[in-house]
Amino acid sequence: MSILTQESSQQSFLSAFLTAGCDSVAHALRKSFLAAIWFVFLTFPIMVIRVNTIENTVVWRWENMAYIAISIFFGSYIWRWLLARKEIKKDESKEETRFEGLLTQVQTKPVLKYAALGVIALIAIAFPQVVDLYQTNIMVSCLVYVVLGLGLNIVVGLAGLLDLGYVAFYAVGAYAYALCNMHWGLGFWYALPLGAVLGTLLGVLLGFPVLRLRGDYLAIVTLGFGEIIRLVLENWGEVTMGPSGISRIDRPEFFNMKMSIVDSTTYMYYIMIGLVIFTIFFVNRLQNSRIGRAWLALREDEIACQAMGIDKMKTKLLAFALGATWAGMAGVVFAAKTSFINPASFTFWESAIILSIVVIGGMGSIRGVIAGAIILVLLPEYLRDFAEFRMLLFGAIMVLVMVFRPQGLISAKRKIYKYEASNTASAGNE
């Protein structure tokens, strides 16, 4: 029966491809052929003609034109088939993907859940022992972005507030540790809660005057706030050392033991593992709490949420403050990891990356944010072998994800509560 169902679904995909957007296969072939011709025309001066200025000769590379035409033709044809398949899957949008179904089965069965958690824990513990320093270092960076993504997920994914200046709280945490360590010798473990407190206070100070705005206006104001913080850090040279930055920031200590670069990086890795676990636990408890449900209601319909008696301002302010808290802690970790910071480390590009992690991973989904951080941080590093084509491939992968998975890699699942009558009540009814 399943084989027949699979064959019928494949036939429906094929029929959809033949009928959606084009009357026949010939029509689809013609459109792909026109796309190939147009792309060859656009790239002809660059890819075909090569002028040798030393020997005053012109080299005609006709084989490049053939490669471009063939690749664009088949690429356009496959792209149309994928779009047609996506249209068919819209009717089946209520059905989860195979990967999400596997995650659901693992979560609902305690044996599989604890076995998967045990395997992940063993891999996480053994990772720095079996890889080199470079791999451990980029994994620490990935874990920092996981914490940042989970913090921004509270603001954007749960409360629905578009924050484009999230990097400002990140910068405040980093500079708080750097300045306190430079002037007063404050250690990492004292600076970590200090960065969280300063991030919370700054989130409240920013949120109170601007959260009356919504949508694009809120995004513009938060973007401006992030740029103001960066410019202050860059121009207030007497305090922040200006563009030169602050160097020789102490790394975390373990009972005053002197550690090498390798040991220090490994120690930082385990610190980040603990911080990520704490963040996941905290955000998960928040998401399933009363305030988490208020954030979701605020995201879906602000007017209805206010009509139900929820204080809109306090709810938004709490989301902003908690999101900024995790950014402040991540900033302290970043300063300790790099032992050098300057304003160039906290540009708008950082906010864009963190927001992309939340959107591409899946807004409101903890697992999706982790997956998004792994892809956006680790993928460019592992594509370095492709040299100048690295960012081209990275951009193409992002386009494919947003076209075919606009809801994110792992979309958030709504909890469904079912009322079941007790046995005594059912017996009485009988």
Question: Do 74 and 171 reside in the same domain of the chain?
Answer: no
Q: Would you state the pLDDT for residue 6? A: 46
* Residue 390 placed within a domain: yes
Q: Would you state the pLDDT for residue 93? A: 47
Boundary of a domain, candidates 60, 75, 90: 90
Give the pTM: 0.79
Q: How many domains does the chain have?
A: 2
Categorize the per-residue pLDDT at 266 as very low, low, confident or very high, splitting at 50, 70 and 90: very high
Question: Do 179 and 292 reside in the same domain of the chain?
Answer: yes
Boundary of a domain, candidates 32, 56, 90: 90
* Residue 270 placed within a domain: yes
Q: Would you state the pLDDT for residue 392? A: 72
Least confident of 70-79, 139-148, 383-392: 383-392
Pairwise CA distance, residues 38 & 40, whole Å? 5
Tell me whether residue 370 is exposed, middle or buried, using C-beta atoms within 10 angstroms of its C-beta: 0 to 12, 13 to 18, 19 or more.
buried
* Residue 308 placed within a domain: yes
* Residue 193 placed within a domain: yes
Least confident of 22-26, 203-207, 322-326, 411-415: 22-26
Q: Would you state the pLDDT for residue 323? A: 92
Question: Do 199 and 61 reside in the same domain of the chain?
Answer: no
More confident position, 98 or 127: 127
- Supply the DSSP symbol for 49: E
Residue 264 has pLDDT above 60, yes or no: yes
Question: Do 297 and 213 reside in the same domain of the chain?
Answer: yes
Question: Do 71 and 145 reside in the same domain of the chain?
Answer: no
Q: Would you state the pLDDT for residue 18? A: 45
Least confident of 39-43, 142-146, 230-234, 247-251: 39-43
Give CA torsion, residues 240, 241, 247, 248, to 10 deg.
-80
Pairwise CA distance, residues 316 & 89, whole Å? 36
Q: Would you state the pLDDT for residue 390? A: 67
Question: Do 279 and 198 reside in the same domain of the chain?
Answer: yes
Question: Do 375 and 311 reside in the same domain of the chain?
Answer: yes
* Residue 95 placed within a domain: no
Q: What is the mean pLDDT of residues 375-403?
A: 75
Residue 64 has pLDDT above 90, yes or no: no
* Residue 300 placed within a domain: yes
Q: Would you state the pLDDT for residue 189? A: 92
Q: What is the mean pLDDT of residues 160-180?
A: 92
Boundary of a domain, candidates 40, 66, 90: 90
What amino acid occupies position 146? V
Query: Mean pLDDT: which of 5-14, 84-93, 146-155, 377-386 is highest?
Result: 146-155
Residue 66 has pLDDT above 50, yes or no: yes
Give 183-214 pLDDT, tens digit per residue: 998 889 999 999 999 999 999 988 888 777 87
Q: Would you state the pLDDT for residue 196? A: 94
Question: At residue 365, what are phi and psi to the nearest 5 degrees?
Answer: -110, 120
Q: Would you state the pLDDT for residue 426? A: 44
Residue 356 has pLDDT above 50, yes or no: yes
* Residue 269 placed within a domain: yes
Question: At residue 265, what are phi and psi to the nearest 5 degrees?
Answer: -65, -40
Domain carrying residue 45: 21-90
Residue carrying structure tokens 């408890």: 285
Question: Do 137 and 228 reside in the same domain of the chain?
Answer: yes
* Residue 126 placed within a domain: no
Question: Do 202 and 300 reside in the same domain of the chain?
Answer: yes
Residue 49's beta-bridge partner residues? 60
Question: At residue 57, what are phi and psi to the nearest 5 degrees?
Answer: -125, 160
Residue 146 has pLDDT above 90, yes or no: yes
Give 1-18 pLDDT, tens digit per residue: 444 444 455 455 445 544
Q: Would you state the pLDDT for residue 414? A: 63
Question: Do 51 and 163 reside in the same domain of the chain?
Answer: no
Categorize the per-residue pLDDT at 328 as very low, low, confident or very high, splitting at 50, 70 and 90: very high
**CB within 8 A of 347, min separation 6: which ones?**
167, 230
Question: Do 297 and 378 reside in the same domain of the chain?
Answer: yes
Question: Do 71 and 164 reside in the same domain of the chain?
Answer: no
Residue 95 has pLDDT above 80, yes or no: no
Least confident of 48-62, 113-127, 142-156: 48-62
